[in-house]
Amino acid sequence: MSKKITLGISSCLLGKSVRFNGSHKRSAYCVEELSEWFDYKPVCPEVEIGMGIPREPIRLVQQGEDIRVKNVTDHSKDFTDDLVALATEKVKDFSELDGFIFMQKSPSCGLFGVKVYNENGMPGPDPDQGAFAKKIQQAYPLMPMEEAGRLNDAVLRENFLTRVFAHAEWKEEVLSHPLPKSLVAFHTKYKYLLQVRSEKHYRELGQLVAKAGSEPFDELSQEYFTLFMFALSQRAVANDHVNVMHHMIGFIKNELDHASKHSILNLIDLYQKGDVELLVPLTLLKHYIEKYNVTYLINQKYLSPFPQSFDQYNQAQFKNKYFIS
Q: Which residues pair with 114 in a beta bridge?
A: 128
Q: Please provide the DSSP assignment of 279-291 as one string.
A: HHHHHHHHHHHHH
List pLDDT tens digits, range 173-206: 999 999 999 999 999 999 999 999 999 999 999 9
Clarify whether residues 96 and 224 are in a common domain.
Answer: no
**DSSP alpha helix (H) spans, the chain:** 28, 45-48, 80-90, 131-139, 154-170, 180-189, 191-197, 199-209, 217-232, 238-249, 258-272, 279-291, 295-298, 312-322
Q: Does residue 168 have a pLDDT over 50?
A: yes
Cβ atoms of 228 and 205 within 8 Å: the answer is: yes
The pLDDT confidence band at residue 4, using thresholds 50, 70 and 90, is confident
Clarify whether residues 134 and 10 are in a common domain.
Answer: yes
Q: Does residue 165 have a pLDDT over 50?
A: yes
Cβ atoms of 267 and 241 within 8 Å: the answer is: no
Cβ atoms of 24 and 18 within 8 Å: the answer is: yes
Among 197, 232, 267, residue at a domain's last position: 232
What is the C-alpha to C-alpha distance for residues 197 and 174, in angstroms, rounded to an integer? 22
Clarify whether residues 225 and 252 are in a common domain.
Answer: no
What is the C-alpha to C-alpha distance for residues 209 and 187, in angstroms, rounded to an integer? 8
Cβ atoms of 270 and 276 within 8 Å: the answer is: yes
- Give the structural domain span for 45: 5-152
Residue 317's pLDDT is what? 41
Residue 207's pLDDT is what? 97
List pLDDT tens digits, range 224-278: 999 999 999 999 999 999 999 999 999 999 999 999 999 999 999 999 999 999 9
Q: Does residue 322 have a pLDDT over 70?
A: no
Please return the burial class of 241, using the count of CB atoms within 10 Å of its CB with bins 0-12, 13-18 and 19+.
buried
Residue 3's pLDDT is what? 77
Cβ atoms of 128 and 60 within 8 Å: the answer is: yes
Phi/psi at 89 (5° precision): -70, -35
**DSSP alpha helix (H) spans, 171-235:** 180-189, 191-197, 199-209, 217-232
When divided into structural domains, the chain yields a total of 3
Clarify whether residues 208 and 226 are in a common domain.
Answer: yes
Cβ atoms of 80 and 68 within 8 Å: the answer is: yes
Residue 306's pLDDT is what? 79
Helix axes 154-170, 217-232, angle to 10 degrees: 170
The pLDDT confidence band at residue 305, using thresholds 50, 70 and 90, is confident
Listed as own residue / partner, the contacts of 149-152 with beta carbons closer than 8 Å and 24 or more positions apart are: 149/104, 149/105, 150/104, 150/112, 151/27, 151/29, 151/30, 151/101, 152/29
Q: Does residue 2 have a pLDDT over 70?
A: no
What is the C-alpha to C-alpha distance for residues 284 and 323, in angstroms, rounded to an integer? 10
Clarify whether residues 143 and 167 are in a common domain.
Answer: no
Q: In what order do the strands lie in the sheet with 58-63?
A: 66-71, 58-63, 116-117
Q: Is 219 helix (H, G, I), strand (E, B) or coil?
A: helix
List pLDDT tens digits, range 25-72: 999 999 998 998 899 999 999 999 999 999 999 999 999 999 999 999
Average pLDDT value for residue range 79-108 = 97
Sequence-distant (6+) residues with CB within 8 A of 192 are 244, 247, 248, 300, 301, 302
Nearest Cα neighbor of 228 from 192, 210, 188, 201 is 201
Of residues 325 and 211, more confidence is placed in: 211
Among 232, 251, 266, residue at a domain's last position: 232
Average pLDDT value for residue range 215-219 = 95
Residue 36's pLDDT is what? 83
Clarify whether residues 175 and 221 are in a common domain.
Answer: yes
Nearest Cα neighbor of 287 from 315, 306, 322 is 315
Helix axes 258-272, 279-291, angle to 10 degrees: 150
Angle at CA 294, nearest 5°, toward 288 and 300?
95
- Taking the model in full, what pTM does it have? 0.90
List pLDDT tens digits, range 129-149: 999 999 999 999 999 999 999
Residue 214's pLDDT is what? 93
Among 232, 261, 281, residue at a domain's last position: 232
Clarify whether residues 242 and 203 are in a common domain.
Answer: no
Clarify whether residues 133 and 188 are in a common domain.
Answer: no
Clarify whether residues 41 and 137 are in a common domain.
Answer: yes
Clarify whether residues 20 and 142 are in a common domain.
Answer: yes
Clarify whether residues 193 and 226 are in a common domain.
Answer: yes
Cβ atoms of 272 and 242 within 8 Å: the answer is: yes
Of residues 88 and 1, more confidence is placed in: 88
Clarify whether residues 134 and 179 are in a common domain.
Answer: no
